[in-house]
Amino acid sequence: MAEKNESGLNATGNFIRQYITEDLKGELNKLRTRFPPEPNGYLHIGHAKAICINFGMAELYGGKCNLRFDDTNPAKESVEYVNAIIEDIKWLGFDWEDRLYYASDYFERFFEYALRLIKKGKAYVCDLTADEIKEYRGSLNAPGKNSPYRERSAEENLNLFTRMRDGEFSDGSRTLRAKIDMASPNINMRDPVIYRIARVTHHRAGDKWNIYPMYDYAHPLEDAIEGITHSLCSMEFEDHRPLYDWCVNETDAEFKPRQIEFAKLNLTNAIMGKRYMRALVEEGKADGWNDPRLVTISGLRRRGYTPEAVRDFCERVGVSKANSVVDSALLDHCAREDLKPKAKMIMAVINPLKVVITNYQEGVSEDLIVENNAENPDMGVRTTLFSRELYIERDDFMEDAPKSFYRLSPGKEVRLKGAYFIRCDDVIKDENGAVTELRCSYDPMTKSGSGFTGRKAKGVIQWVSAMNAVKIETRMYDCFAFDTPDGPAENPDSLIINENSYAEPAIIGAKPDDRFQFLRIGYFCMDGKLSQPLKMVFNRIVPLKSSYKPDESLKNRG
């Protein structure tokens, strides 16, 4: 197995570990982190990295990590997303024990903190519209200007804010803004909105609230309320850190967490934007959020990736402050490394071509012994049926083959895995010239395991007996799409369906999420969403051949 990246989560040199070690000074078990998803969609591979960092650091030091839903924007949130996120994190193998929280648990406290700010002269009710607030904010090169409502008295602000809560005003007509500095070089500090009016039913609080806190106000207070020591988040929040600290300090919160930022995960040839994923789902281009062409955690799970592979990938990617793009081939490499010693190897043909062995007696068959996993002898062996009529992979035959083609062609021979040498003697075609059948002869002296040393076959191919072949459907996946400056780009080859594939009977009894190595083709997983009692559907997780180049996959990391 290739060495893991030296900046991995468990590497002593990663900067988050250094900060935590310095801050906690030997009492590392006091570490408290949190994973705070907004329930407005399904989690993707980028969130998996954040999950592994937050839960992983807590595990490493014997601390605790909370799961907390930042449910402050009810217009876009739902119970479906909450349940999906819980399932994803459990699937990855992390446990928050009894520490499941919601921002909505603290709505009353957020309101009290806001009253505290108003009384201190640190917040005011503003009547500017959203467009006017944007106009007044200024730019990176020019300071903002004060709202005409900025100098309202504390009494007037308390009265208006209470009436906002009581539903007296229409949506968008008023906001509560922090009173900081409209000339600050950090635009986030130019009197940001901390409450807005929104008459929207909340999936937990119902219609109790007519106002909702903004994320930048609620999040630091949630961390403070829960006693989070280190708030680990992506680099996009670095410029928000002064506001994070301001909210904690000016509300006189009882606890003061430290925010630390790390680079987000960007993956080649994959959509990483939740809004793009949502559009694909809502437009019916994706088969739900768990479409195997998406890099949602549920999509990766349905495709067949294991939680061990995803966690290994996140460990190898590691943590840094520099933005980077990681080669998606690394994720596939981690899947292969995990599955190689534990997936049962069976023979299957995706695009079958019939073979008749003319010198093998009709109605006769024999059991041959093949290993269940060439990498792991402890997985034992099984028997597979050999008979006169077989199926091979269509790509394993070429009529006008070059010298470098070591599979089956007229007059040439090849070894059938675990069986015999066969030679192609005749090619049967239909009226359009398409090859429909091969007539071959076998050499009974070449049986695998017999000790035959007379000659070597240059090629070995898989096969399935037509006498007991099990019909299956196979699905070959690629990235659904990838981000471009204009949004998602279509990938017409993202899904190739073969409804008439065959596998040996060892596939019988497979259950959803069971994984196999289809000899010479790739690793496959039974699709629990599409499979039916009389129809087994298998998704290719990754092909056997790897494009992973260790020296290049992480070359853009800082």
- Residues 91 and 235 reside in one and the same domain: yes
> Is 401 in a helix, a strand, or coil?
coil
In this predicted structure, what is the pLDDT of residue 485? 56
In this predicted structure, what is the pLDDT of residue 425? 97
Each residue of 304-338: pLDDT tens digit?
Answer: 999 999 999 999 999 999 888 899 999 999 999 99
Would you say 442 and 359 are in contact if contact means Cβ atoms under 8 Å apart? yes
Residue 354 has pLDDT above 90, yes or no: yes
- Residues 388 and 245 reside in one and the same domain: no
Task: Give the Cβ contact number of residue 477 at 10 Å.
Answer: 21
- Residues 155 and 64 reside in one and the same domain: no
495 inside domain: no
CA dist 220 and 113 (Å) reads: 12
24-28, 62-66, 175-179, range with the lowest pLDDT: 24-28
Which residue did the predictor score with more confidence, 221 or 279?
221
487 inside domain: no
In this predicted structure, what is the pLDDT of residue 164? 98
In this predicted structure, what is the pLDDT of residue 3? 43
393 inside domain: yes
482 inside domain: no
- Residues 82 and 149 reside in one and the same domain: no
Residue 401 has pLDDT above 70, yes or no: yes
- Residues 248 and 326 reside in one and the same domain: yes
Tokens 């006693």 correspond to: 227
In this predicted structure, what is the pLDDT of residue 547? 72
Name the pTM for this structure: 0.92
Would you say 343 and 517 are in contact if contact means Cβ atoms under 8 Å apart? yes
Residue 551 has pLDDT above 60, yes or no: no
In this predicted structure, what is the pLDDT of residue 493? 79
- Residues 162 and 310 reside in one and the same domain: no
Which of 461, 479, 499 lies at the terminal end of a domain, its last residue?
A: 461
280 inside domain: yes
- Residues 86 and 226 reside in one and the same domain: yes
In this predicted structure, what is the pLDDT of residue 1? 38
Each residue of 419-433: pLDDT tens digit?
Answer: 999 999 999 999 999
Residue 514 has pLDDT above 50, yes or no: yes
In this predicted structure, what is the pLDDT of residue 121? 98
Reported as a pLDDT band with limits 50, 70 and 90, residue 489 is low
Residue 552 has pLDDT above 90, yes or no: no
Would you say 384 and 504 are in contact if contact means Cβ atoms under 8 Å apart? yes
271 inside domain: yes
Q: In 4-63, where do the E strands start and end?
A: 32-35
| Percent of residues in the chain assigned helix, strand, coil, to nearest 5 | 30, 25, 45
Which of 439, 461, 483 lies at the terminal end of a domain, its last residue?
A: 461
Residue 369 has pLDDT above 60, yes or no: yes
Instruction: Give, in order, the Cα–Cα distances in Å from 331 to each of 56, 317, 338.
Output: 19, 10, 11
> Is 348 in a helix, a strand, or coil?
strand
- Average pLDDT score, the chain: 93
In this predicted structure, what is the pLDDT of residue 55? 97
- Beta-bridge partner residues of 383: 369
- Residues 34 and 46 reside in one and the same domain: yes
115-119, 309-313, 553-557, range with the lowest pLDDT: 553-557
CA dist 403 and 412 (Å) reads: 11
Nearest in space to 270 (alpha carbons), one of 483, 477, 475: 483
Would you say 94 and 65 are in contact if contact means Cβ atoms under 8 Å apart? yes
Which of 446, 461, 476 lies at the terminal end of a domain, its last residue?
A: 461
- Residues 101 and 225 reside in one and the same domain: yes
545 inside domain: no
Share of the chain above pLDDT 70, in %: 95
CA dist 342 and 346 (Å) reads: 13
Nearest in space to 314 (alpha carbons), one of 527, 39, 89: 89
H/E segment holding residue 540? strand 537-543
8 inside domain: no
Q: In what order do the strands lie in the sheet with 100-102?
A: 32-35, 64-69, 100-102
CATH number of the domain that residue 437 is part of? 2.40.240.10
Reported as a pLDDT band with limits 50, 70 and 90, residue 271 is confident
CA dist 180 and 189 (Å) reads: 6
Reported as a pLDDT band with limits 50, 70 and 90, residue 490 is low
CA dist 409 and 402 (Å) reads: 10
What is the pLDDT averaged over residues 95-99? Answer: 97
CATH number of the domain that residue 53 is part of? 3.40.50.620
- Residues 169 and 277 reside in one and the same domain: no
> Is 342 in a helix, a strand, or coil?
coil
Number of domains in the chain: 3
> Is 139 in a helix, a strand, or coil?
coil
- Residues 221 and 329 reside in one and the same domain: yes
- Residues 122 and 98 reside in one and the same domain: no
- Beta-bridge partner residues of 522: 518, 543
> Six-digit token pair at 353?
């071509």
CATH number of the domain that residue 172 is part of? 3.90.800.10
Determine the structural domain holding residue 74 and report its residue range: 15-105+217-334
